[in-house]
Amino acid sequence: MTSTSVLKSVSESVTNGIAILFLLSSVFHLVGSSFLEALIYLVISLLLFSYRNRLMFDPAQKQFVITKQLSLLNINIRRIDECVIPLSTVTDVSSGGNKQLNYIGISYLSESEEPAVYSFSCLRQADKLTALLSASDLDHNVQPTAGADANRRSATRSTPTSLARLFPLFMNRNRDIEARFSVLRCALPTPKHKQHIAWMVAGAFALMTCFILYSSQNYIAGLVFLVLTYLSYWLASLLISNKHYFVYHSPCNEIKVEEDSLFLPALLFTDKQAREVTKDEVNDIKVHWNTFIVSDLDMLTASTRRNHVVDLVFDTEYGATVSLSGMSVEAEPLLLALTHWQYPLSIERTDKAVFPMVRHFQYGSLVFIIGIIVWAMTTFVI
């Protein structure tokens, strides 16, 4: 199979980097006369070097080919996976990135005639990516490469490439375009006119906490009830939202995304009426996202530093919907479907916390530690 350009994925580049470390370890053990350890590290490094995850365009067969396999010295050891996308099934191609990372998103029709998207990312291969797209003779949407574009409102229509920059773990694989998305009622925002109920429940637990501390001086029991006081507010909010957003005459809680229309369930509107909205009746779909970081150490790693959708609002001719979030709906597949069918989408970053409860527990832990220090000083020092 002849190909114009071959793109090496980020996963292969990272695997090769790890393989180099194992190879160096093998050399060091060999110098230190640890022949068995050197052999083990050498085998591991060769196994890592054999990993291939590549995207190529075959001009003879007019198709994109994405392969995952183990291959060493042009000898195929094992084929893990292969995805072939004929050029005739491709509906859209978008590309973009920055100086380090490059992305390509291929929208196509699968064998079952269902829309699907394949997103591929690579390191420092912009020239090869351009050559591959030129060989395919496809018109592609080029995304801005400035690093600040991800932090401000998108000026161009969103594509699988722009989603790949925001949600790389979700987009870095073959994805079918889903059509139905369930909304979790209890995770929707608590109505403002019913928030006092949650505060009353939390207040009742707070009074019980104060009574226990005053009557028994049992600090452990008081601490337990203090945690229950905090959790009672959130539990009450969940129950209130679950009951408030259940519409008896229209219990459907699914958003349906089609090529020319959206079905928005009744629970998303204040008048409790379900609506089928055409694409022309959608003014804008406003999406706000933020990065979830547990601590400052997460700035250096990507294990917990992930982007999440904080707010998602459909602005239609019939009014705006209730704000959705990544906890109330599967936001990434929903955004992928909206992007694929080219609905108007505005994506921008916000300062709103992704999981407020995590920050509250951090503050609570700090107060607890300060309390322990003060108690120890008053008991054993003063």
pLDDT bucket at 314, cuts 50 / 70 / 90? very high
Tens digits of residue pLDDT in 228-248? 888 888 899 989 998 989 888
**What is the spatial distance between Cα 10 and Cα 119, in angstroms, rounded to a whole number?**
12
Which one is predicted more confidently, 73 or 96?
Answer: 73
Tokens of 38: 């050197």
pLDDT above 90 covers a percentage of the chain that reads 9
Query: How confident is the model over 118-134, as a mean pLDDT?
Result: 83
Which one is predicted more confidently, 150 or 62?
Answer: 62
CATH architecture of 180-187+246-351: Roll (2.30)
Tens digits of residue pLDDT in 288-301? 888 776 544 344 34
Query: How confident is the model over 337-364, as a mean pLDDT?
Result: 80
Which one is predicted more confidently, 348 or 148?
Answer: 348
Residues 39 and 47 sit within 8 Å (Cβ to Cβ): no
Residues 121 and 172 sit within 8 Å (Cβ to Cβ): yes
Which has the closest alpha carbon to 323: 177, 170, 191, 153? Answer: 191
What residues pair up with 84 in beta bridges, in sequence order?
A: 65
Query: How confident is the model over 108-119, as a mean pLDDT?
Result: 78
pLDDT of 303: 44
pLDDT bucket at 278, cuts 50 / 70 / 90? very high
HEC sequence for 126-192: HHHHHHHHHHHCCCEEECCCCHHHHHCCCCCCCCHHHHHHHCHHHHCCEEECCCEEECCHHHCCCCH
Which one is predicted more confidently, 373 or 268?
Answer: 268
Which one is predicted more confidently, 43 or 165?
Answer: 43
Query: How confident is the model over 205-214, as a mean pLDDT?
Result: 83
What does each C-alpha distance from 7 to 10, 11, 68 come to in angstroms?
A: 10, 12, 12
pLDDT of 305: 59
Going by the DSSP 8-state scheme, the letter that residue 124 receives in this structure is S
pLDDT bucket at 277, cuts 50 / 70 / 90? very high
Tokens of 129: 């990516």
CA torsion through residues 211, 214, 217, 220, sign = positive
pLDDT bucket at 160, cuts 50 / 70 / 90? low
Which one is predicted more confidently, 357 or 44?
Answer: 44
Stretch among 11-25, 38-52, 63-77, 149-163 having the lowest mean pLDDT: 149-163
pLDDT of 153: 38
Which of 90-99, 119-128, 141-150 holds the top average pLDDT?
119-128
Q: Can you spell out the DSSP letters for 66-112?
A: EEEEEEETTEEEEEEEEEEEEGGGEEEEEEEE-SSEEEEEEEEE-TT
pLDDT of 114: 74
What is the four-CA torsion angle of 8, 12, 13, 17, rounded to 10 degrees? -150
pLDDT bucket at 155, cuts 50 / 70 / 90? very low
SS3 253: coil
- Indicate if the pLDDT at residue 53 is higher than 50: yes
Task: Collect contacts of 196-199 with beta carbons under 8 A, ≥24 apart.
Answer: 197/236, 197/240, 198/233, 198/236, 198/237, 198/240, 199/233
**What is the spatial distance between Cα 358 and Cα 351, in angstroms, rounded to a whole number?**
15
Which has the closest alpha carbon to 9: 149, 139, 128? Answer: 128
- Indicate if the pLDDT at residue 138 is higher than 60: yes
pLDDT bucket at 147, cuts 50 / 70 / 90? very low
What is the four-CA torsion angle of 124, 85, 157, 268, rounded to 10 degrees? -120
Residues 171 and 120 sit within 8 Å (Cβ to Cβ): no
* Domain spans in the chain, listed from the N-terminal domain onward: 6-144+151-176, 180-187+246-351, 192-244
Query: How confident is the model over 274-303, as a mean pLDDT?
Result: 72
pLDDT of 264: 93
- Exposure string over 177-198, b if 16+ CB within 10 A, otherwise e: bbbebebbbbbbbbeeeeeeeb
Query: How confident is the model over 182-207, as a mean pLDDT?
Result: 89
In this prediction the pTM is: 0.63
